Amino acid sequence: MARPRVLITGGAGFLGSHLCERFLAEGFEVVCMDNLITGDMRNVEQLFRDASFHFEKRDVTEHIHVPGPVDAVLHFASPASPIDYLELPIQTLKVGSLGTHKALGLAHAKKARFLLASTSECYGDPLVHPQSEDYWGNVNPVGPRGVYDEAKRFAEAMTMAYHRFHGLDTRIVRIFNTYGPRMRLRDGRALPAFMSQALRGEALTVFGDGSQTRSFCYVDDLVEGIWRLLNSKEHLPVNIGNPTEMTILQFAQAVIEATGSKSGIEFRPLPVDDPKVRQPDISKARRLLGWEPKVALKDGLGRTLDHFRARVALGPEPTRAQGVR
């Protein structure tokens, strides 16, 4: 009997590579597609030992061709950190719009199930706390973060249009802050910044006074939630994240403790439109998927530490090519 087959766009990225690994373990043939603007071949190099893993370097905003049957398409291609989407604003908008359209078109042609990687950034700087899926958000469409927020909001609308008009079997996951091995050092998100600074003995840079809150989910928990969502019958968005809320200052102190560093903390001005609070309401995931996170922050930081020690030892990451604009 033929293996089921999945296409994962952005498959060489942080989350995409963990999904490639999970689907191989579940008996799938995996087609990993990435243009490597923010992805990294080191994330998937160990997977080439499996004959069921295939890699294609391709820009999904231009064309997606996969010969043969495809049972599921997971669209994870996108710059996903503040540094990435501020440096790559046009690419971020294109992959959220054109890339989503191409991925949906392939899923429609193959009669495949489609899952969109959306984000808690759809809620913007929220006026409702915690954030549930029925909250429409508070987003500045013309601010510097708007290129990411609005790309994802458009992608959700496009996904639901394909579901309603074409009858495509779709899923939407709204991903909250996630961390774990394979994150880049120069990522711009709190965990990579704090952990690399702590390991180098540098001051941890906290924006604002550190009172803004986030909720950190370990990557294995997220992948389990995505797997359950894909195999559910829910078409509307579902939050997947850790509802344990903490301030950025508390998180910085947790990283210092986990690394055993003697680093101090340096405060810097808060970026434009930086959300003041972020906490998922996961009632829907609990009810429909029987899912909730299992990995405590202390354990997750411990599992992530070796990865960052190895990356810091290798020195600065190579400069990224800017690619198409």
User: Quick one: which H or E segment has residue 57?
Assistant: strand 53-57
Dihedral over Cα of 131, 159, 220, 194: its sign: negative
Cα separation, 128 vs 280, in Å, equals 11
Half-sphere exposure of 252 (CA within 13 A, CB side): 25
3-state class (DSSP) for residue 299: helix
The tokens for 319 are 């400069």
Largest CA distance in the chain: 58
Cα separation, 260 vs 256, in Å, equals 6
By the 8 A CB rule, do 211 and 247 touch? yes
Our answer to whether residue 148 is catalytic in this structure is yes
Residues 108/73/217/122 CA torsion (nearest 10 deg): -30
Question: Helix, strand, coil: what percent of the chain each, to 5?
Answer: 40, 20, 40
Helices assigned H by DSSP within the chain: 14-25, 82-87, 89-94, 100-110, 146-166, 190-200, 219-230, 248-259, 283-289, 297-313
Dihedral over Cα of 234, 236, 241, 244: its sign: negative
Cα separation, 240 vs 218, in Å, equals 11
From 85, 123, 135, 148, the catalytic residue: 148
Residue with tokens 């579901």: 163
Burial class (CB in 10 A: 0-12, 13-18, 19+), 34: buried
- Residues carrying an active site annotation: 148
